[in-house]
Structure 1
Amino acid sequence: MTEQAVRDSEPILQEVENKVGYITLNRPNNYNALNTELMRNLKRSLLEFNKNESVHCIVIRGAGNAFSAGADIKEFSSQTDNKAKIEERAQLTMEIHQMVNKLDKPVIASVQGYVYAGGCGIALGSDLVVAADNAVFSYPEIKRGFVPAIVSPNLVRILDRKRAFELLITGRKLHADEAYSWGLVNEVIPLEDLASRTKEFAEEIAAYSLNALTMTKNLFYEVAEGDFDNALQTARQSNIKMRQTDAFKKGVESFINRK
């Protein structure tokens, strides 16, 4: 098998460029449907990049014409009577949804085409979302007689309750511009510019101090989701810690000596 054939057969592709770690969902012939193998490799890739100090920002993207159409229903059908496999997959999906916001590096989802079900959960659960103008977001599980289970907590966390319930209970499609107006994505850009804009955005973030990025991300989620008084205490501790770092001291010196 040629090197390219091996690469094409991998469910996840990884590469690092200019302090950005790129994770590509690589099942384009199946609209990057999320099977167990892909999910295992996605988890592994996220953990590897989180430990890699040369990576300051992580991008998740999809190969081909879609980000991801959601779970691989064919695989689900083969596991209907296998409780162990059902439980393994549910646990794996839960761990990925728990993990993204707890990673030390900002995570950007770069999406196009179908952003459905579990794929929508991964995208909208990321810290930032850059969407092509052809992106369509949907939780269509209800239409198939399924329950949008593990994807629902992140959606309710980032969107107001009425709109979150509307998406889950109707399975309606939300096109990129409407997703932007709802505050679900950060930017909508022409499809042909998606790769270049994602690269530009990610490299802008990755150029900053890793310590500052990590502390800012951790503080953000503590402030956004924690008790107000506890959030202030965390912010106070972050301020103290940050002001003792070399990056902070260099930043102060650079500001004072600017011309």
Structure 2
Amino acid sequence: MTRNIRVERRGAVLEVTLDRPKANAIDMATSREMGETFLAFRDDPELRVAIVTAAGEKFFCPGWDLKAGEAADADYGPGGFAGLQELPRLNKPVIAAVNGICCGGGLELAMSADIILAADHATFALPEIRSGTVADAASVKLPKRIPYHIAMELLLTGRWFDTSEALGWGLINRAVPSADLMTQARAMADQLASGPPLVFAALKEIVREAEDMKFQDAMNRITRSQFETVERLYTSEDQKEGALAFAENRDPVWKGR
């Protein structure tokens, strides 16, 4: 346990719980703790999937702690704000389990995950405009995730929206009863943890790097194994195991090598 987050290993799954009463706002120390935690997750070969969530049922995270009196442009630690959104080479799946109010940098944290599950009472907003600041990461990410005009409305007005809107736009994967949130998040994490880690790594690198590439340029890099993770995959024991298991009509045994 660290000061502001709780970290639990459950087999190949790492659960990171933001626990900073009253609202789980993130100050500099918390951001650095989260960064060190996700950096360790990235580099631990025994860990395959992470879940990020928060304590309580009211707040997931309101983002930056404005009451901490710290400069907003100081050192957030590894991975940038909240440890995820700028962490390089994070080639493992991350699930956000949003348990309540999710706004500002908290929504940016959730969007840094690969899959977002939300309690059905969760609410969302990007209210930075009301305090004269810019939701910087959301300004980059949101128009790529949901329709442009909806993203701009949310950024320009800072208005609140609920899980039904978020689900309708495809911003979250699933809205579930609060009591079932962690059960479903853990079930999904276990499913991913049993999957092929080298394939997941290749998928994450391709999606990340190809975002700003022309289609053919990205395809050329894939077919020429110019992505490090793709090259590793196609020369791995797991690739041979996958083909053999398919031929033998059995479940493959993934070793991550």
TM-score of the aligned structures, taking structure 1 as reference length:
0.86
Indicate conservation of the 8 Å contact 1:128/1:185, yes or no. yes
Give me the whole-angstrom Cα distance separating, in 2, the residues matched to 1:87 and 1:131: 29
Displacement of 1:197: 0.2
**Quick check: 1:137 aligned with 2:124?**
yes
- What is the CA distance between 1:89 and its match in structure 2? 4.7
Tell me what 2:234 maps to.
243
- Whole-Å Cα distance in 1 between the matches of residues 17 and 101 of structure 2? 15
1:127 to 91, 100, 114: 114
Residues 95/200 of structure 1: CA separation in 2 closer, same or farther (3 Å cut): closer
Give 1:20's aligned amino acid: V
Inter-partner Cα distance in structure 1 for 2:75 and 2:22: 19
Q: Which amino acid aligns with 1:51?
A: D
Q: TM-score, normalised by structure 2?
A: 0.87
Question: What CA distance in whole angstroms lies between the structure 2 residues aligned with 1:190 and 1:205?
Answer: 22
- Structure 1 37/95 Cα, relative in aligned 2: closer, same or farther at 3 Å? closer
- For residue 10 of structure 1, what is the aligned residue in structure 2? 3
Partner Cα distance (1:143, 1:95) in 2: 25
Select 2:17's aligned residue among 13, 24, 31.
24
Please, which of 18, 27, 32 is the counterpart of residue 35 of structure 1?
27
Q: Which of residues 64, 74, 77 is equivalent to 1:88? A: 74
Aligned-pair identity (%)? 27
- In structure 1, how many angstroms separate the alpha carbons of the residues matched to 2:13 and 2:106? 21
Matched ranges for 1:1-259 at <5 A:
7=1, 10-27=3-20, 29-65=21-57, 66-75=59-68, 78-79=69-70, 85-89=71-75, 92-93=80-81, 96-99=84-87, 102-236=89-223, 237=225, 241-258=232-249
The structure richer in helix per residue is 1
Cα deviation per residue 1:16-56 (whole Å; 9 max; x = unaligned)?
112111111111x2211011111011111110000011111
CA pair 161-90 structure 1, distance change in 2 beyond 3 A:
farther
Q: 1:174 to 1:89 in 2, by over 3 A?
A: farther
Q: Give the distance between the partners of 2:231 and 2:35, measured in 1 at CA.
A: 33
Distance, in Å, in 2 between the alignment partners of 1:194 and 1:182 is 20
2: CA distance between counterparts of 1:218 and 1:134?
A: 33
CA shift for structure 1 position 86: 3.9
Give 5+ residue unaligned stretches, structure 1.
1-6, 80-84
Residues in 2 aligned to 1:243 and 1:118: alpha-carbon distance in whole angstroms: 38
Deviation at 1:131, TM superposition (A): 0.9
Contact 2:119/2:175 (8 A) holds in 1: yes
Moved more, 226-235 or 113-122: 226-235
SS at match of 2:171: coil
- Work out the CA distance in 2 between the residues paired with 1:94 and 1:109: 13
C-alpha contact (below 8 Å) 2:16/2:51 kept by paired residues: yes
| 1:12–1:38 Cα contact (<8 Å) kept | yes
- Distance in 1 between the 2:43 and 2:83 partners? 17
Note the C-alpha offset of 1:151: 3.3
Give the Cα–Cα distance (whole angstroms) in 2 for the partners of residues 11 and 70 of structure 1.
14
Give the letter aligned to residue 200 of structure 1: A
Q: Distance in 1 between matches of 2:82 and 2:19?
A: 21
Between the aligned partners of 1:241 and 1:52, the Cα distance in structure 2 is 17
Residue of structure 2 equivalent to 1:82 = none
Task: Give the CA RMSD over aligned residues.
Answer: 2.1
**Cα distance, 1:97 vs structure 2:** 2.0
CA contact (8 A) 1:112 1:136 kept: no
Between the two proteins, the alignment pairs up a number of residues equal to: 243
